[in-house]
Homo-oligomer: A and B are copies of this chain.
Amino acid sequence: MEERHEWEDIGQKIYSLAGKLFPINRSITGNGVRETLALIKEIFPGLMIHEIPSGTEVFDWTVPKEWNVRDAYIECPDGRRIAEFKKNNLHLVGYSVPTDKSMTLEELQAHLHSLPEKPEAIPYVTSYYEERFGFCLAHSERAKLQDGNYRVFIDSELTDGSLAYGEIIIPGESRREIFWSSYICHPSMANNELSGPCLAAYLAKWIAGSPCRFTHRVIFVPETIGAIAYLSRNIEAMKENVTAGFNLSCIGDRGHFSYIASRYGNTLADKAAKSVLRFLDPEYVSYSFLYRGSDERQYNAPGVDLPVCCLTRTKFGRYPEYHTSEDDMNFITPEALGGAFALCREIAESLDANRRYRVKILCEPQMSQRGLYPTMSKRGAAWQTRSMMNFIAYCDGTNDLFDISGIIGEPATRLADYAEVLSDAGLIEEAEESE
């Protein structure tokens, strides 16, 4: 019960952070990213902020110009302003070039985006690599537009600048790393994307407060170009050290958890994620790598080959509010964010506890003599003894905790508890240094 309260409390904090970040106009570059990082740094002061200049080549890509917006709107023939950037930053197509011109409705239509099937929602549209401009608006509003002369006003800048990203390194006993990735490049949308970085910020805070075997690396990057840029700077160290990694995306809605496998679904990250989800949310949805869409694409690219899977609740593209103004602060909940925190924490704890053990004596040990029979109610005791004997039966030095969890059907964290008790009793030992 207390734990549940703990998750709710954390969920509320994550939700509040998302609320603060929500109004900021993020894109893959620009001051919105910096403001976002500054607010995350308030939660986790150890956050390092890096900048990569426009024009820098990062693998097959080039860091684009920096985009900033002061204002943007469309002035109707009657002088009324619509699609105002200041009212909702989704109104302006991302990377729209500075513009101030008059045009007919027909000319204007070529620059408008709306969703006939969702007439009250503003869609989210960007144009990173082609210089153009455009506005997004509710289809119901668009339908009301009358013939006449429209003024399109966009007070934006597209200039050489830099791409900013944030990085947290929490050293553990070992150089080997657990890696957490989230992205910060979408304007006012809550599930995609604020659920990810806000969860990551509080996860880092918790990790930093717990003694860890593994070093943890937590990053906040613009999606795709940011992940590629980050990899171009860190790939060698990451290939050497990253043991398991998780991309966090769309993880604050009311749906069940989803897991998107790594390229072959066979890494330690996949094993840990599936092992924890099996017990935490038995109805979780499992997707193959063919269903990827976020930065797991880069981490799993051939030659990069990092052991990274993706964790979401309802997967990107699978909920109708995705990439619209309806993915707002009502679409995510503190409870869902708290549950996501619980998932990530249990994955981290499981990985930290994960070892191969070997029984030190031959045949079954005499449990009662050692006071190892649990002292709860008779029926529960019998079950727990059975479960502990099952654990011992597979402590033959070949299985890690996730393997045994899969065989005997107990969560790895419970097996970690058994391992502690049995190690203390001198019955099992670590089979090999896991370092």
Contacts and interface: CB of A to CB of B under 8 A. Distances in A.
Give the 6 A-B CB pairs with smallest separation, nearest first. A302-B396, A228-B363, A302-B359, A60-B365, A298-B363, A59-B363
Of listed A232, A362, A368, A392, residue having the most chain B CB within 10 A: A362
A397 interface: yes
A301 interface: yes
Nearest to A300: B393
A303 interface: yes
Interface of A: 59-61, 129, 224, 227-228, 231-232, 235, 263, 289-290, 297-298, 300-305, 358-359, 361-366, 368-369, 389-390, 392-397, 407-409
A407 B298 CA distance: 19
Copies of this chain in the oligomer: 3
Contacts of A407: 290
Contacts of A231: 362-363
B60 A364 contact: yes
6 contacts: A59-B361, A60-B362, A60-B365, A61-B366, A228-B364, A263-B396
A263 B304 CA distance: 38
Contacts of A59: 361-363
Given A290-B390, A408-B290, A302 B395 contact: yes
Contacts of A224: 364
B361 A60 contact: yes
A225 B204 CA distance: 51
A368 B290 contact: no
A298 B359 contact: no
Contact of A393 (B263, B389, B390): B263
B366 A301 contact: no
A369 B225 CA distance: 14
A421 to B, nearest CB: 16
A358 B393 contact: no
A393 B301 contact: yes
A307 B240 CA distance: 40
B364 A298 contact: yes
Contacts of A365: 60
Given A290-B390, A390-B290, A364 B397 contact: no
A395 B302 CA distance: 7
A76 to B, nearest CB: 30
A395 B263 CA distance: 11
A175 to B, nearest CB: 22
A231 B364 CA distance: 12
A301 B359 contact: yes
B129 A368 contact: yes
A362 B392 CA distance: 44
Given A263-B393, A289-B393, A366 B300 contact: no
Contacts of A300: 393
B263 A359 contact: no
A59 B360 CA distance: 11
A289 B392 CA distance: 13
A107 B358 CA distance: 46
Nearest to A367: B60
Contact of A60 (B297, B304, B366, B393): B366
A220 to B, nearest CB: 18
A369 B394 CA distance: 54
A65 to B, nearest CB: 15
A360 to B, nearest CB: 9
